Amino acid sequence: MSPMQGYPAGRTALLFVDPYNDFLAEEGKLWPLVADIARSVDLHAHLRTVVSCVRQAGLPVFIVPHHRSEPDDFKGWDHPTPYQLSAARVQPFAKDSWGGEWHPDFAPQPGDIIAKEHWGGSGFSNTDLDYLLKQHRITHVILVGLIANTCIETTGRFASELGYHVTLVRDATAAASAAAMHAAHEINAPTYAHAILTTEGLVDTLTARVRG
């Protein structure tokens, strides 16, 4: 598949999942969870490179944010997931807190599109993301952000089920362990993702697309 066919102009967008301080800043509540893997893949540098390349290529950026926590979020819920119950205890991305603000290196820019906050792993479930993508005629999505084996994987799998062409960038994400990263990219991703690239591979592809 040629780069032009792989990432058509006007049809391709970046989905940046959960660019919050709590995930990406050294003082963030969830940074310790992903720090070792994030450092091993040079996460911040690769995220900066991907975002810069995407913007230079003229591709739109969609921010796909997790729900900002509040103390009584799951009160009265019939069956919140273990992941949600853990979030209730930790209060990641707490509403009106520093941790729930965008990391300054990755804050939305004018023209970026911010989807409604997702409550679970998928950026599509119970949000307007699919509607927004369709209204912007997007058919191809590139996923970066956190975490590889939760929100990235679930959002990517959901995108594939909805008919989108899905690209994962293996070193522009992180997870709590090397095993989780391996499962996300080597075991699970090949069942739904159309491309699994490094940042370098993505840049080469998008640069070739622009030159073409």
Q: Residue 84 pLDDT > 60, yes or no?
A: yes
Q: What is the pTM of this model?
A: 0.95
Considering the chain, what is the average pLDDT of its residues?
A: 95
Shortest CA distance to 18 belongs to which of 134, 138, 175?
Answer: 175
pLDDT band at residue 100 using 50, 70 and 90 as cut-offs? very high
Residue 3: per-residue pLDDT: 39
Q: Residue 186 pLDDT > 70, yes or no?
A: yes
Q: The sheet that has 12-17: what strands, in order across it?
A: 113-114, 61-64, 12-17, 140-146, 165-174, 195-197
Angle at CA 17, nearest 5°, toward 172 and 65?
Answer: 160
Reported as a single tens digit per residue, the pLDDT across 158-182 is 999 999 999 999 999 999 999 999 9
Higher pLDDT, 156 or 210: 156
Percent of the chain at pLDDT > 70 equals: 96
Task: Give yes or no for a contact between 31 and 98, defined as CB atoms under 8 angstroms apart.
Answer: no
Cα(first)–Cα(last) distance of the chain, in Å? Answer: 14
The domains of the chain, with CATH numbers, are: 12-211 (3.40.50.850)
Residue 4: per-residue pLDDT: 38
Query: How far apart are alpha carbons 99 and 114 in whole angstroms?
Result: 18
Residue 5: per-residue pLDDT: 47
Residue 208: per-residue pLDDT: 82
Q: Residue 39 pLDDT > 80, yes or no?
A: yes
Phi, psi of 203 (to 5 degrees): -60, -45
Helix or strand or coil: residue 205? helix
Window from 7-11, 40-44, 94-98, 193-197 with minimum mean pLDDT: 7-11
Q: Residue 101 pLDDT > 60, yes or no?
A: yes
Q: Residue 117 pLDDT > 80, yes or no?
A: yes
